[in-house]
Amino acid sequence: MISRSNEARSNGSMRTRRSGAYGRSAERQERNAAIKRDYEAGMTQQELADRHDLSRAAVSYIVKGRTSRGQAPVVDAEFLTITRLLEILSPLDDGARERIIGYVEARLRSEASAAEETVC
């Protein structure tokens, strides 16, 4: 008797069948980049899965920065935000960066204290 995993391998797994001609090509990388852009623009994972003929789980792996086998690291949202912030601030001189970071920090603290007062 063939086990379920061997049967899936002999018939081609869902991932293999659904990824079709994409394989591991530049075309697949372009598709994944488009999926990430559309997801950031507000499309749901199910809409993206339907559009690209993928499972929702496959789309989830793509938007989280993982491969289907979990080999690539998941990019943390906080880390991504810090990276973007540093890129935005990079053209400015040290003084301007310090002023902006100080202003943002003060705003975040005042919003946090206002939220605490509302809850209490």
Using one digit for the tens of pLDDT, what is the confidence trace for 54-83?
888 888 888 887 655 555 555 677 888 888
Verdict on whether the full-model pTM lies above 0.85: no
Check whether 14 has a pLDDT greater than 50: no
Is the pLDDT higher at 42 or at 76?
Answer: 42
Number of independent structural domains in the chain: 2
Asked if residue 104 has pLDDT above 70, the reply is yes
Residue 4's pLDDT is: 44
pLDDT at 111 over 50: yes
Q: Quick one: 53 and 82 in the same domain?
A: no
What is the predicted pLDDT for the residue at 115? 77
69 domain-assigned: no
Q: What is the mean pLDDT of residues 31-55?
A: 90
Range of the structural domain that residue 100 is part of = 77-119
Are 31 and 58 in the same domain?
yes
For residues 50 and 90, membership in a common domain is answered with: no
Q: What is the pLDDT of residue 91?
A: 92
Per DSSP, the residues of the chain read ---HHHHHHHH--HHHHHHGGGTTSHHHHHHHHHHHHHHHTT--HHHHHHHHT--HHHHHHHHTT--TTS-SPPPPHHHHHHHHHHHHHTTS-HHHHHHHHHHHHHHHHHHHHHHHHHH-
Residues 43 and 88 in one domain: no
